[in-house]
Structure 1
């Protein structure tokens, strides 16, 4: 009996020697929060490098950054916890940008970035419809005189935005409710105003690294800024 007990204790020694398993690393790509500034932040909240983009979903240069820069940014910097990334709205093209911003925020915090990526990927199709719409300037001018919620809804209908977000799980009734939400409209307007008045944003994309505005507008120019800041 004693011999069996002694043998069992010897078998357990390696297990005790190994100690407790290390805690799993956080999944920073799924760590997403809405910020007090009206943006959405992905990644480690305590990252040494904090990146903020003021972007427009209809901006061609923002589209190129989304296509070329977001994957390496996420893979090499956000996923590792070195960089947090916050997206804030800046409506350079007015009503179409407002409509997309309202619909994107409507999907909820955890779905914000996947839908943002999908909106950018679909930008060429939205642009085709916008070009077609521009051929009826009287209708566009009439919509632009409507209250913001009604104006955003008209553009969302004409540009296929409501149908688009339905394919990403947002019911049409909910989409229409969000397009007319005065609180959401006011929040986006405040983010825009703060961008102009506090941070002197005058175009998109505008990138800030640890509060300092950079001259970068694409990934090859932005990545050295992140590395210089300690990423």
Structure 2
């Protein structure tokens, strides 16, 4: 099946699911509607998209340097924002499982500024994944040395410069000075890394992306194709 055909099939299936949800409204009243797709709430460990009081709660543990996470961002994020989050029945929290300094650098930049900006910052970094991850793979020994030595902020700035993260953040309206201010926030870097370690211990996470649905880790579920039917069943 071609990518276009697969996407069309997924959209049609999601649309059918949305119609079915609407048809059962009398049996399961939906929460009061709001502009849920644009609602972003900062949590203790990440950012929550959608109705904070939704009965169905999905958490994704992701890494910016994970190719499967980039696949999920491309295949699942749009569907969640179009068909699931707007109903108010489900919210979606994005949390970080930090694997390396590049990952932490990207996480710091997506957290930069008002929490409401996170969703689009996240989308901007993930949409450019193929380009910047290739630069990371081809990094010279000199570049890698700059990423490993010096102050934390100097390391993060070197990574951001070498992988075009500054350019990505410029498309989001951030100046280099603003981006550097976020990259110099060592307390935030420690907080993100500490939360990541705590989540790994709490849920026994083995890789990324991993999903927790209503408090339960979904074993063997690491892609949109496997996650979607479980969401439909829960809703």
- Specify the TM-score bucket, using the shorter chain as the normaliser: 0.7 to 0.9
Compute the displacement of 1:148 (Å): 2.8
The residue that corresponds to 2:132 in the other structure is: 126
The correspondence of residues 84-123 of structure 1 with structure 2, limited to 5 A, is 84-92=91-99, 94-123=100-129
Q: TM-score, normalised by structure 2?
A: 0.81
> Counterpart in 2 of 1:225?
230
Matched residues in 2 for 1:86 and 1:151: separation? Answer: 28
Distance 2:162 2:143 in 1: 11
| Preserved CA contact (<8 Å) 1:148 1:185 | no
Runs of 4+, deviation exceeding 4 Å: none
CA positional deviation for 1:227: 2.3
Pairing 1:188–2:192 present? yes
Q: What whole-Å deviation, never above 9, does each CA across 1:53-111 have from its counterpart, x for those lacking one?
A: 0111221101111111111112221111111000011122x111111111110032111
Using the alignment, how far apart are the partners of 1:142 and 1:116 within structure 2?
Answer: 25
CA RMSD between the two structures: 1.5
Which residue in 1 is equivalent to 2:3? none
Do the aligned partners of 1:35 and 1:41 also contact (CA within 8 Å) in 2? yes
What is the CA-CA distance between 1:142 and the residue it aligns to? 5.1
Whether contact under 8 Å (1:206, 1:217) holds in the other structure is yes
In 1, the alpha carbon distance for the partners of 2:147 and 2:82 equals: 42
| Equivalent residue runs for 1:74-223 within 5 Å | 74-92=81-99, 94-133=100-139, 136-141=140-145, 143-214=147-218, 215-223=220-228
Unaligned runs of at least 5 residues, structure 1: 1-23
Q: Which protein is bigger by CA-based radius of gyration? A: 1
Per the alignment, in what secondary structure is the counterpart of residue 130 of structure 1?
helix
Aligned length: 203
Q: Secondary structure at the match of 2:71?
A: helix
Q: The residue matched to 2:57 in structure 1 has which SS?
A: strand
- Residue 114 of structure 2: SS of its match in structure 1? coil
Give the TM-score of the pair, scaled to structure 1: 0.83
Aligned match of 1:19: none
